Amino acid sequence: MIAKLQCVVLDCADVVELSRFYQSLLGGVVNQPDPRWSLGDGWATLHTDGLVLAFQRVEDHQPPRWPDPARPQQFHLDLGVPDLNRAQEDVLNLGASLLDEGDGKRSWLIFADPAGHPFCLVRD
């Protein structure tokens, strides 16, 4: 092993909005003191159980447009949920957008967070 994952960093226009969105979705602590990062107007973190997400402000952020290859998804998170229908309702209420509800037979749905990053809710 060469490295250990410290965090996943998401570019966005509003670090507070996106960190709060993921906190509502995953729990955890926004901007928990951590000597690995300096917090500020252009940077926020979310410490969850075993994973840290970081949010970095980018001027003129251009969100992905899934599935447009001209503005690809860049990355996505798969998030396990026990009840897909309930989770869908919850994330939509938090500000997510449904990108692909599939054919009703598969065990996942594709959404975008408020900054346009795709993520999947996957039935556990």
Q: What is the pLDDT along the chain (124 residues), one digit of tens a residue?
A: 767 888 899 999 999 999 999 999 999 999 999 888 778 889 999 999 988 999 999 999 999 988 898 988 777 888 999 999 999 999 999 999 999 988 877 888 999 999 999 999 998 8
The pLDDT score that the predictor gives to residue 2 is 66
pTM of this structure: 0.82
* Residue 118 β-bridge partners: 112
Angle at 104 between CA 92 and CA 100, to 5 degrees: 45
The number of helix segments (H) and strand segments (E) in the chain equals 2, 8
Q: Hey, what are 22's tokens?
A: 């993921």
Domains of the chain: 8-57 (3.10.180.10), 77-123 (3.10.180.10)
Angle at 71 between CA 101 and CA 27, to 5 degrees: 55
The pLDDT score that the predictor gives to residue 77 is 87
